[in-house]
Chains A and B, each alone.
Chain A
Amino acid sequence: MRNLIELVGRLVMHFLTEMGRVSFLFYNVLKKIISLPVEWQIIAEQMIAVGIRSIPVVLITALFTGMVLALQTYTGFRRFGAESLVGTVVALSMTREMGPVLTALIVAGRAGAAMAAELGTMRVTEQIDALETLATDPVKYLVVPRFLSGIVMLPALAVLTDIVGILGGYIITVGLFGVGSTSYWKRTWDYLKMDDVYNGLIKACFFGAFISIISCYKGFYTSGGAEGVGKATTGAVVLSSMSILIGDYFLSVWLF
């Protein structure tokens, strides 16, 4: 029992110190975001890496999520004759919840891992030190562009997820179960408010910040050679995913 308490205590302490150091990096990034010169080229490269390259997997995930949502909701709702509301449920779930969260989890696995591995390798091979000796601030040069691309690309991808998810729902409800096309769209638009979409996108924006800051932090403070880079990468994905799921709850409480 004593050991258990000790273990929990240590884990909590570890988590809190980690969060403290992440916040410090975040503060540094905010301070440097506005300072000139703007690293346009690297920002563009990162936007492509985080945003454009994630599109295929995001599209496939969104389509199938929309489809399975429709499938399950239809099966359930038919029991009390509410088939016509399937479109509403799909649209609300996608925009408020599934769109931002799924997109974020995918980007954490793809781009977050890549950020941690890339910066981690640069750290253990002294490339980050080399940047400093060439009078270049590594936070501004490496972390700020990744942060910006995170907070811009996540909402953009979430919009895509929303649209494709709703289309997936349409395909199943209208194509498979034969619900009328007009009634599906009417139900979707009747109950969906723009606020649902906006709040989902605000969430996505936060998730983009979580992923990029946590992954950059893990990479930036890597030590211990190739093994350290592996640990940093795994750590980045785990911590980002946890922060997305936990953050999702609190953001939902705050926004809705």
Chain B
Amino acid sequence: MIRVVDLHKSFGDKKVLDGVNLEINDCESVVVIGGSGSGKSVLIKNVIGLMKPDKGSVFIDDVDIAGIDNMDKLNEIRKKFGMLFQYAALFDSMKVWENVAFALLRLHRLSEYEARAIAIEKLKSVGLVDVEDLMPAELSGGMKKRVGLARAIAHDPEILIFDEPTTGLDPIMADVIDRLIISVRKELKATSITITHDMNSAYRTADRIAMLYNGKIIETGTPEEIRNTGNPTVRQFIEGRAEGPIHIEGAGNGKSLGRV
């Protein structure tokens, strides 16, 4: 269980998170939606301890990850996590299989032979075959994301974090990635937090959707509840309109700039 309590984070005088509260139950899939630059990435970086909040706590099974200063203890907790980055963040000096096997080789101390076999298995589970000896630079965007997914699940984590898994992909590849996410979650029985501004993807993969706006979670609910929400801000976002309570710079004259 993950509990985000009154999380604050600013950069300079720019408030990004202004008291975020969010609970995620075991095995639940929560999707956080919000506009570009609303602080979604900052939120999950605080959850996994890549950033320290100015104020507030993030409890991972009752341990406050924001309060841990010791690198070894932090790494112990991080072993519970697997994260897929927005641009995959593959290690470009390593082959595909070495990327996927990174945690197995280093943390679990498996032999190269065993780790490679598991890596190939995990790559197959995300629909990739015969790519293990390629370098990341030789892969397409969708393939990189899938390798990133394979790397995130290689050490069988309990908590999965996905940062915009479908952004930048064509709609078909986005659906492929969504299905993969659903299937790996089931297989690992993992808790997951997904960040997105792709509503189709959110409806497909979420047990619960939470909307981040102005540094706060302004609404949470099942996909059905969010679809029928009365909150005008949420309505504007999920319908993708430029006019409404969310003010977008340069969206005057009723000319729509499209999605937030």
**Could you list which residues of chain A lie within 8 angstroms of chain B, going by C-beta atoms?**
121-122, 125-127, 129-137
Task: Tell me the bound Cα distance from A126 to B92 in angstroms.
Answer: 11
Which 3 pairs from chain A and chain B are nearest by CB? A126-B89, A135-B75, A130-B89
Q: Which residues of B contact A135 (CB under 8 A)?
A: 75-76, 78-79, 103, 107
Main secondary structure of the interface of A (DSSP, over half): helix
Residue of B nearest to A140 (CB): B71
Selected from B82, B86, B107, the residue in CB contact (under 8 A) with A126 is B86
B71, B75, B87: residue with the most chain A Cβ atoms closer than 10 Å? B71
Q: What is the chain A residue whose CB lies nearest that of B85?
A: A126
How distant is A155 from chain B, measured CB to nearest CB, in Å? 27
Complex interface: chain B residues within 8 A of A122 (CB): 91
State which size class the interface on B falls in.
20 to 34
B48 at the interface (CB under 8 A from A): yes
- Does the CB pair B106–A133 fall under 8 Å? no
Residue numbers in A under 8 Å from B71 (CB-CB): 137
A127 and B50 contact, Cβ closer than 8 Å, known pairs A135-B79, A135-B103, A136-B106: no
A-B contact pairs, 29 of them (CB 8 A): A121-B92, A122-B91, A125-B87, A126-B85, A126-B86, A126-B87, A126-B89, A127-B90, A127-B91, A129-B85, A130-B83, A130-B85, A130-B90, A131-B91, A132-B78, A133-B50, A133-B78, A133-B82, A133-B161, A134-B78, A134-B107, A135-B75, A135-B78, A135-B103, A136-B102, A136-B106, A136-B107, A137-B71, A137-B75
In the assembled complex, the Cα of A127 lies from the Cα of B85 at a distance in Å of 9
How many whole Å from B82's CB to the nearest CB in chain A?
Answer: 8
Whether a CB of chain A sits under 8 angstroms from the CB of B237 is no
Query: Assuming the A-B contacts A134-B107, A137-B71, A137-B75, are A129 and B89 also in contact, with contact meaning beta carbons closer than 8 angstroms in the complex?
Result: yes
B81 at the interface (CB under 8 A from A): yes
A125 & B106 in contact (Cβ 8 Å cutoff): no
CB distance from B145 to the nearest CB of A (A): 13
Q: How far is the CA of A133 from the CA of B90 in the complex (A)?
A: 12
| Alpha-carbon separation in the docked complex, A204 to B85 (Å) | 41
| A129-B78 contact, Cβ under 8 Å, with A135-B107, A136-B106 | no
**CB-defined contacts of B76 to chain A, threshold 8 Å:** 135
Additional A-B contacts beyond A132-B49, A133-B81, A134-B78 (15; CB < 8 A): A122-B91, A126-B86, A127-B90, A127-B91, A129-B50, A129-B89, A130-B85, A130-B89, A133-B48, A134-B102, A134-B106, A134-B107, A135-B76, A136-B102, A137-B71
Bits for B93-123, please: 1 = Cβ < 8 Å to A, else 0: 0000000001100110000000000000000
Which residues of B are found within 8 Å of A132, using beta-carbon distances?
Answer: 49-50, 78
Separation of A122 and B87 alpha carbons in the complex (Å): 12
A130, chain B: closest CB distance, angstroms: 4
> Are A127's CB and B106's CB within 8 A?
no
CA distance A130 to B90 in the complex (A): 8
B45, A129: Cβ atoms under 8 Å?
yes
Bound-state Cα–Cα, A137 to B87, Å = 21
Q: Mark B22-64, 1 if CB is under 8 A from A, else 0.
A: 0000000000000000000000010011100000000000000
Separation of A125 and B48 alpha carbons in the complex (Å): 18
Please give, as numbers and ranges, the residues of chain B lying within 8 Å of A131 by CB-CB distance.
91
Taking CB as reference atom, which chain A residue is nearest B152?
Answer: A133
B130 to chain A, nearest CB (A): 24
When chains A and B are docked, how far (Å) is the Cα of A133 from the Cα of B50?
8
Cα distance A137–B78 in the bound complex, in angstroms: 11
Chain A: minimal CB distance from B164 (Å): 12
A135 to B81, CA, bound (A): 9
B162 to chain A, nearest CB (A): 12
Residues in chain A near residue B89, CB distance under 8 A: 125-127, 129-130
Q: How far is the CA of A127 from the CA of B50 in the complex (A)?
A: 12
Instruction: Among A130, A133, A137, point to the contact of B91 (Cβ < 8 A).
Output: A130
Residues from chain A with Cβ under 8 Å of B48 in the complex: 133
How far is A121 from B92 in the complex, measured between Cα atoms in Å? Answer: 10
Distance to closest chain A CB from B167 (angstroms): 14
Minimal beta-carbon separation of A37 from chain B (angstroms): 9
Report the Cα distance A131→B106, complex, angstroms. Answer: 11
Nearest residue in A to B77 (C-beta to C-beta)?
A: A135
Chain A residues with CB below 8 A from B90, complex form: 127, 130
Q: Shortest Cβ distance from A142 into chain B, in angstroms? A: 11
Is the Cβ of B83 less than 8 Å from the Cβ of A133?
yes
How far apart are the CA atoms of A185 and B71 in the complex, in Å? 56
Chain A neighbourhood of B83, CB < 8 A = 130, 133
Chain B nearest CB from A117 CB (Å) reads 12
Identity of the chain B residue whose Cβ is nearest the Cβ of A139 in the assembled complex: B71
| A125→B78 CA distance, assembly (Å) | 20
CB distance from A124 to the nearest CB of B (A): 10
How many Å lie between the Cα of A129 and that of B46 in the bound state?
12
